[in-house]
Amino acid sequence: MGLLAIFASSLLCVTCCHALRGFPAPLPSEGRYEWTTHYFQQKIDHFGFVEDQSYKQRYLVNADYYKAGGPIFFYTGNEGDIELFANNTGFMWEIAPEFHALVVFAEHRYYGVSLPFGSQSYSTPGNLNYFTSEQALADFAVLGQYLKAEYSSPKLIAFGGSYGGMLTAWFRMKYPHVVDGGLAASAPIFQGDTECSAFSAVVTKDFDAVSHNCSAGIRQSFQRLPHILKSMGDSEFAKQLNLCKVTMSGAFSDWLQGILGYLAMVDYPYPASFLEPLPAWPIKEACKFFGRSTYTDDELVKGLAAISNFYQNYAHEEQCINTSSFAYKGLDNSGWNYQSCTEMVFPSCNKPETDFFPPTPWSFASYSESCHKQYSILPRPDWLKEVYGGRLSASDFSGHSNIIFSNGKLDPWSVGGVLETSNPAISVILIEDGAHHLDLRHSNAMDPSSVVRAREQEKEIITAWLAQ
């Protein structure tokens, strides 16, 4: 999930208050998957009667395992190129043969190549007006109904991770006649109702669990960074850290906060390339650069250089450290920035009593001002609660059924997820050693037992849905 630089994010696949920017190619992949690419003609506006144009929504299909009467496994695309998610959602591919399922990955409007107004999709507020989660869900519903008829498939099971997980949950809630059940992995659907420092607190906890000295050293780095930059100068600091360009102190601090959040999100038990190529348990590896609790300024600079290079250049493919880049190319910051300024308002702040980041207050007034300056719009912080239900009103999900909410306890986004429910028709799975939607990834010999059990539970629940 991407954000404006001063903002908090959602899954989506972003962190703290930072935007996803400029990413390297090629697409990362956890497995070798094949598909055929298709396009479906969608209405630009599903809910009005004036705008009658249509656009081509991209979706990917694999029918290798499908047998007549089998279900459709339908991934609700999120903030990026749909091929990124197809390459990193191995659980769907892995269980499809067992269920004789048709595998489908549907791209979210305004992302990838599914652009309602082509190259002009982001050019005017009017063209962006149809960029909402409600319109995206309607796309999924229309496409889902078409596919069920086209393949004579009686059942559709939705899958999604992060923002895609939020969409999967809402898809089942809003279109139960189309969706028979949904696995919403790491879906922070309550993030707007969550205490603003909660994300940062989990990031800090993850590092502290590996090494208290590590978290103490990082805290000291943030505390000393303004003094280091003042005494060293921006140019010399950039040289010492091998930065691609000279940055102001605030920009580097923002970038550092971002990569620490990402390390917590992708603290997987095996090497992976979802955001950047990283080794197994990357927090443990990163903490090797901060093995003591106190440092001289020169030592802190060396530690910051090492952790920056570790995150962005672990594969030794870069000549310098690009602080304008947080993660992989397939994630789209421009789209998520806009969504953050409309519906996806997730308060974010840092507090010294709970996290190691520099103290940063949350100001909705400043947030709104920035949104208006960039997009000529004002965010609606309560809209998600009004249209989908908030933390209190949806705590038992009365009237809803057949949704799995899975969350890894290592994942900072778990604080906005569904961690309990009194509704027996809703399943909550907590993964002790899981980071961001680890259960949606392909199985690996290095997987902890907690995620192995979670996947088995998920398969059992999906089997029961299909028997209903």
- For strands 36-43 and 54-62, give the pairing: antiparallel
Residue from 171, 233, 185 nearest 439 by CA: 185
Selecting among 180, 254, 411, 439, the annotated active-site residue is: 411
> Which neighbouring-strand residues pair with 49?
none
CB atoms near residue 60 (< 10 Å): 21
Residues listed for the chain: 468
- Calpha distance 51→135 (Å, rounded): 13
* Amino acid identity, position 41: Q
Rounded to whole angstroms, what are the CA distances from 312 to 25, 88, 307, 320, 340? 13, 19, 9, 9, 25
Rounded to whole angstroms, what are the CA distances from 242 to 37, 306, 323? 41, 10, 10
Please list, in sequence order, all residues whose beta carbon lies within 8 angstroms of the beta carbon of residue 44, skipping any fewer than 6 positions away. 51, 53, 54, 55, 116, 117, 130
- Calpha distance 211→106 (Å, rounded): 41
Based on the residue annotation, tell me whether 366 is a catalytic residue of this protein: no
| Residue 278: half-sphere exposure toward Cβ, Cα within 13 Å | 29
Based on the residue annotation, tell me whether 411 is a catalytic residue of this protein: yes
Selecting among 18, 108, 400, 436, the annotated active-site residue is: 436
Selecting among 9, 121, 162, 221, the annotated active-site residue is: 162
The catalytic residues are 162, 411, 436
